[in-house]
A = this chain, B = another copy of it.
Amino acid sequence: MKIGELARETGCTVETIRYYEKVGLLPKAMRSQENNYRFYNQKHLDLLLFIRRCRTLAMTHEEIQQLLQAREEPDNSCVSINELIAEHLEHVRARIEELQALESQLEILGNECHSVHAARDCGILKKLDEADNSDWQIPKTSNSHVEGSRCHHKKS
């Protein structure tokens, strides 16, 4: 099948499919001789579905590569797979906690302004402007890579 069909089958865009091929996440497609169009078989469809499912789980490309590698080595132990999923789950949980703290802060901030008046009297602006920094501890961020994290995995 051609790329448009693959895109529709997997709920993905053709641009993303080309991107995945470019970054090596998806193997290169066969090409037609007359017009160089990409052609995909069942294996590519399976792989792309796998990748998209991992993406819906907010896994990074690196994590996905690791799972794909494990999939290609069926005799190896599945310990690393279990660990990867468990660690990813911890990242997600950490991010949830961060956002819940943020939610609380925003609720408190929103309550600083009780009615509509001039901006000069707005409790929200006053709070954001206050000299006292004690209510504004910079939150200690997690190492979660899950989107929204303030820390990316180091590549060193």
- Measured CB to CB, the residues of A under 8 A from B are 11, 46, 49-50, 52-54, 56-58, 67, 70-71, 73-79, 81-82, 85-86, 88-89, 92-93, 95-96, 99-100, 102-103, 105-107, 109-110, 113, 116-122, 124-125, 128-129, 133, 136, 138-139, 146-150
Contacts and interface: CB of A to CB of B under 8 A. Distances in A.
Contacts of A57: 102, 105-106, 109
Contact of A116 (B78, B102, B124): B78
Contacts of A103: 89, 92-93, 96
B129 A50 contact: yes
Contacts of A121: 78
A102 B58 contact: yes
B88 A106 contact: yes
B56 A136 contact: yes
Given A75-B120, A77-B117, 5 more contacts: A11-B138, A57-B109, A73-B119, A74-B119, A148-B149
Contacts of A76: 118-119
Nearest to A46: B129
A73 B118 CA distance: 9
Interface centre among A89, A106, A129, A150 (most CB of B within 10 A): A106
